[in-house]
């Protein structure tokens, strides 16, 4: 059995029901919009985010969930999908998970409007059901994600990034959404309990490990759907690079910064930077940091009694850093 199917097993029924509810939550009276949302639903990814919502909800409540849990999972998936549609416009990307992106098929204007529509659908799903606590969790996540992206763009211009700033960027940009999934799951069944903040922190730790793993792919040869060195070409400062930059002598540091700023489209130069980062221990350092986040996340699950849901969450934490793409 594939690892993702194994993780999903205890919530198979909930995920099937969620699919139906999620499709309904996207529906519109505009035929074009329905055609596009149908296209989105049929090209979905692994749906890790709703899985986090259901597994956390069931773990903290001994297997009990409510309609609020389904709404929480739908809201997070609506908002996440909206951000992906907008990201493809911003990045001028024509592919998403091996398929054409919305902007490639229907152009930028429609893609932006579809993203806005999904965002508003998510907000209204919470408001119409008085899920204001869930709405607050998701709204904070959207704000943080936007700030994280803008902070990364600002720092890419100057390349003056420290490890602390890097953690801040990935916490906001990536970890905050996984943190929101986990706190939503807890809040949907145990509102105003300690579980909500504890699970938010758990999700944040997984998100940090997840992003560092993504950064490491930039230096590997695995087929992950993005070419090696793409982060360097885009002047994104990732942990392996930050580590070697901060310990390099003046001459090497000048060469590295010059390579990233002025030669980031030169394949040979990018390959030299990748090789330098590997030789100077950048990858080993990033792996050790990623494992620290992983261990802290696993530690946070120890206070919960044994259950299928807890086992699946442990598998999920390990899958995040063992995945090949």
Enumerate the domain spans of the chain. 3-305
pLDDT one-digit tens code per residue, 155-203:
777 777 889 999 999 999 999 999 999 999 999 999 989 999 999 999 9
**Rounded mean pLDDT, 39-68:** 87
Q: What is the Cα–Cα distance from 223 to 17, expressed in whole angstroms?
A: 33
Q: In the prediction, which pLDDT does 98 show?
A: 62
Between 152 and 71, residue with greater pLDDT:
71
For residue range 215-269, list pLDDT tens digits in order.
888 787 554 445 566 777 777 788 999 999 988 899 999 998 888 888 878 888 8
How much is the pLDDT for 265?
Answer: 81
* Whole-angstrom distance, CA of residue 99 vs CA of residue 255: 38
Half-sphere exposure of 291 (CA within 13 A, CB side): 6
Name the band, by pLDDT with cuts 50, 70 and 90, for residue 97.
low
pLDDT of residue 59: 96
pLDDT at residue 38, as a whole number: 73
Query: In terms of pLDDT, which residue wins out, 305 or 232?
Result: 305
Highest mean pLDDT among 78-82, 86-90, 226-230, 283-287: 283-287
**Which secondary-structure segment (H or E) carries 128?**
helix 102-128
98 or 220: whose pLDDT is higher? Answer: 220
Helix (H, G, I), strand (E, B) or coil at 19: helix
Check residue 195 and give its pLDDT: 95
Is CATH 1.10.600.10 the classification given to domain 3-305?
Answer: yes
| pLDDT recorded at residue 7 | 93
pLDDT at 205 over 90: yes
Q: How far apart are CA 241 and CA 286, in angstroms?
A: 9
Mean pLDDT of 80-104: 73
Quote the pLDDT of residue 101.
Answer: 74
Tokens 């758990």 belong to residue: 202
Summarised one tens digit per residue, pLDDT across range 105-124 is: 787 788 888 888 888 988 99
Say if residue 77's pLDDT is above 80.
yes
Query: What residues contact residue 194 under an 8 Å CB cut-off, 6+ apart?
Result: none
pLDDT in tens, 288-304: 999 999 999 999 999 99
Q: How far apart are CA 307 and CA 63, in angstroms?
A: 9
- The overall average pLDDT reported for the chain is 87
Question: What average pLDDT score do residues 11-33 get?
Answer: 86
Share of the chain above pLDDT 70, in %: 92
Cβ proximity of 115 and 37 under 8 Å: no
């Amino acid at each position: 059995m594939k690892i993702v199917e194994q993780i999903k097993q205890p919530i198979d029924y909930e995920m099937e029901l969620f699919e139906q509810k999620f499709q309904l939550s996207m529906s519109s009276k505009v035929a074009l919009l329905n055609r596009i949302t149908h296209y989105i639903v049929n090209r979905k990814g692994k749906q890790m985010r709703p899985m986090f919502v259901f597994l956390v909800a069931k773990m903290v409540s001994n297997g009990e969930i409510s309609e609020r849990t389904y709404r929480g999972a739908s809201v997070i998936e609506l908002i996440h999908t909206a951000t992906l549609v907008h990201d493809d416009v911003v990045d001028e990307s024509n592919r998403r998970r091996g398929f054409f992106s919305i902007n490639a098929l229907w152009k930028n204007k429609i893609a932006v409007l579809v993203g806005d529509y999904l965002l508003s659908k998510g907000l209204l799903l919470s408001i119409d059901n008085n899920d204001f606590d869930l709405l607050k969790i998701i709204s904070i996540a959207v704000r943080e994600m936007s700030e994280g992206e803008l902070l990364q763009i600002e720092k890419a211009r100057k390349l003056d990034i420290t490890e602390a700033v890097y953690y801040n960027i990935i916490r906001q940009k990536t970890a905050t959404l996984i943190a929101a999934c986990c706190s939503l799951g807890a809040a949907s069944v145990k509102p105003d309990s300690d579980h909500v903040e504890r699970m938010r922190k758990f999700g944040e730790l997984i998100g940090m490990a997840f992003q560092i793993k993504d950064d490491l792919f930039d230096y590997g040869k695995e087929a992950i759907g993005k070419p090696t060195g793409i982060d360097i070409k885009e002047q994104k400062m990732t942990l392996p690079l930050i580590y070697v930059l901060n310990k390099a002598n003046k001459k090497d540091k000048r060469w590295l910064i010059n390579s990233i700023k002025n030669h980031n489209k030169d394949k040979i130069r990018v390959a030299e930077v990748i090789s330098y980062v590997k030789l100077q221990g950048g990858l080993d350092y990033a792996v050790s940091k990623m494992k620290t986040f992983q261990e802290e996340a696993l530690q946070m699950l120890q206070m919960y009694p044994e259950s299928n849901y807890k086992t699946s969450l442990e598998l999920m934490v390990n899958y995040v850093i063992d995945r090949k793409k």
